Structure 1
């Protein structure tokens, strides 16, 4: 049976984090499932290289709202979003509107249009309602919650969570609608770049330089361990001057020779970074999924991350370390990981790649999301990944 879904996302800019990659990838996976997929998103006029939007390929229809002014970029063009989304809805008559993110004008717009057109709304919080996220800029979020966000959420006919912990986050907000747990998938590289032949080992962080990522804890732990023969490389765009704060901390700890700041990389260079790494580290306080963990595993790199991420399989499948988001716990795991020889680390990495190949392909995630849509529209039985109260 034909199915048309409009996805709404404020931005797919490359420097806006994992959601900019995972939503277009989900659109592509749904397209392969035979769903007629439309993506409505903002696009900056004359973007710099690191601001280029990541747009889906295949037969996905992309409808961009160009952000020409600073105010439009800040507010995500709410008027332009409304006009474009309403125009697309009138043209394609979708069965579902699927909105991504929280706290943004685009979320209000998606809810307004869905209500006006009497179309079921699916909402994906994308990790923005975890305990840590709600405590960050908490006063603004409390105002936004009572002003509009709780009304947007209450309109949702179905929530999409990318990890089981996000179901608990929704229930703590007294939201009782059904929740479909569909993790992000990961691109499985067929042929990785050759690993460089160097004696020095490398630990890699690859994500936004943002307080949420827990990098001050990592630098403190690295200074505590001070491993011989290892370099820690931090790769990614800086947000709100956080890189300069981290550079000052590294200097204070005497780490200038063992910590490198490399800036953002494009998709091709990203896989070269993974290929050059002996260990991947994501010390986040909070993640709804952590796409870079899955990418590192797909590249055959063992991972050290925190219980602020949903990556308990690192322990159960013996392909990494999953520890509390505390500098002491990270330091203890580092001592363990950095004491291993390269052959042992690569054997751990191979187990990680097998985990991703069997569990986290985008094709499988597209099938699960399609099942959730069909159930919502009463076209199929309830899948096991949908939780109802």
Structure 2
């Protein structure tokens, strides 16, 4: 789809799930453009624009968008930076249809961080600009309800994050069974809660492996966990190493306070590994019946599910993982969700 243009401020690995989703969509529509103000050096398919200031203002991006063909479609990813705002303004001025994927950035829990600044920005600038979108894209039904309240006159469509169907890698024996977290280490991910609960279970003969790029929060958590030799921080992991970590884990745990599905949950399940995560991810409730576990992100519920899952036999663990993998293929694979994107983009032409 040559006339499709993805626009975001950051598609580097530091951006977390936004990068994964944009890259995945682009792999299905490879003729599309990706425009950003931050990218990694190996992101050869991304056109990067210079930016300045905390808003990442990019005047060259505005100029570029003002000159793209009129039959273009803009897909905005994210909501807080100049890239999305200027794209919405240019699109409205030139009568170019656009869709916005907030990627969970308007979820209630996230408004607590920088609440006043975010509310003022939304009220004064973003709400009027984004209300002109042809569609607002939600990843879960819960997010769809929330976005419809924020944009009552705009159609909000729900298409979940999608994942390619991959065969699980061969599982290898590890020195000790382990629970695993992989992802961006941010307070909303609940990693501190996970460490606190794990440390309280002194008799648990498991390791806890935490993988993700190092940042200020991860350094704080390393300090918190330094007295427990069972806990290790692996830094950033990718590719085959990441798949093997998923596959070998007794269970993957993502105790997020706020999330919209979370690609790591789908990635782990695709490797036939049971996934323990939270209702706040917006995953379908059937996750609980198909091999996964949904809890609320609090101490007691996480403690109980850790104890319960530590008692699974290998056969039970494998049955749960295979069942969850099949559920993800049925509900969250590109096989199911690609036709939804094709229909949505075509309706905007």
TM-score, normalised via structure 1 length: 0.83
Match of 2:163 among 186, 210, 223: 186
Determine if contact 1:40/1:64 at 8 Å carries over to the other structure: yes
Match of 2:48 among 50, 65, 71: 65
TM-aligned CA distance change 1:250 to 1:191, over 3 Å: closer
Determine if contact 2:210/2:234 at 8 Å carries over to the other structure: yes
TM-aligned CA distance change 1:16 to 1:136, over 3 Å: same
For the residue of structure 2 that corresponds to 1:212, the secondary structure is helix
1:40 corresponds to: 35
Match of 2:95 among 118, 140, 143: 118
TM-aligned CA distance change 1:345 to 1:133, over 3 Å: same
Quick one: distance in 2 between partners of 1:129 and 1:188?
29
2:192 corresponds to: 216
2:140 corresponds to: 163
Q: Which runs of 5+ in 1 are unaligned?
A: 45-50, 56-61, 378-389
1:81 and 2:61 correspond:
yes
Quick one: distance in 1 between partners of 2:201 and 2:16?
29
TM-aligned CA distance change 1:122 to 1:54, over 3 Å: same
1:135 corresponds to: 112
Quick one: distance in 1 between partners of 2:161 and 2:60?
29
TM-aligned CA distance change 1:174 to 1:227, over 3 Å: farther
1:13 corresponds to: 12
1:27 corresponds to: 26
Match of 1:105 among 78, 82, 94: 82
Quick one: distance in 2 between partners of 1:227 and 1:162?
39
TM-aligned CA distance change 1:227 to 1:186, over 3 Å: farther
1:126-151 alpha-carbon deviations (Å, 9 max, x no partner):
10011101112212211211231112
Deviates more, 1:326-335 or 1:166-175: 166-175
1:223-268 alpha-carbon deviations (Å, 9 max, x no partner):
22335321000100134x00121122224xx42x111111111223
Q: Which structure is higher in RCO with an 8 Å CA cutoff and minimum separation 6?
A: 1
Aligned counterparts, 1:87-98, within 5 A: 87=67, 89-90=68-69, 93-98=70-75
Match of 2:315 among 343, 353, 357: 343
TM-aligned CA distance change 1:259 to 1:144, over 3 Å: same
1:322 and 2:304 correspond:
no
1:54-98 alpha-carbon deviations (Å, 9 max, x no partner):
56xxxxxx451244xxx63854352122123333x13xx334211
Match of 2:269 among 287, 291, 297: 297
1:250 corresponds to: 225
Quick one: distance in 2 between partners of 1:4 and 1:84?
14
For the residue of structure 2 that corresponds to 1:359, the secondary structure is helix
Determine if contact 2:4/2:72 at 8 Å carries over to the other structure: yes
Quick one: distance in 1 between partners of 2:7 and 2:96?
14
Quick one: distance in 2 between partners of 1:172 and 1:227?
47
- Following superposition, the deviation at residue 175 of structure 1 comes to 2.8
- Following superposition, the deviation at residue 28 of structure 1 comes to 1.9
Quick one: distance in 1 between partners of 2:20 and 2:3?
21
For the residue of structure 2 that corresponds to 1:265, the secondary structure is coil
TM-aligned CA distance change 1:54 to 1:74, over 3 Å: farther
Aligned counterparts, 1:269-284, within 5 A: 269-284=241-256
For the residue of structure 1 that corresponds to 2:32, the secondary structure is strand
Aligned length: 349
Aligned counterparts, 1:259-270, within 5 A: 259-270=231-242
Q: Which runs of 5+ in 2 are unaligned?
A: none
- Following superposition, the deviation at residue 313 of structure 1 comes to 4.2
TM-aligned CA distance change 1:261 to 1:117, over 3 Å: same
Determine if contact 1:124/1:161 at 8 Å carries over to the other structure: yes
Determine if contact 2:37/2:58 at 8 Å carries over to the other structure: no
For the residue of structure 2 that corresponds to 1:308, the secondary structure is helix
Determine if contact 2:140/2:283 at 8 Å carries over to the other structure: no
- Following superposition, the deviation at residue 118 of structure 1 comes to 0.7
1:362 and 2:334 correspond:
yes
Determine if contact 1:65/1:77 at 8 Å carries over to the other structure: no
TM-score, normalised via structure 2 length: 0.92
1:353 corresponds to: 325
Quick one: distance in 1 between partners of 2:113 and 2:124?
18
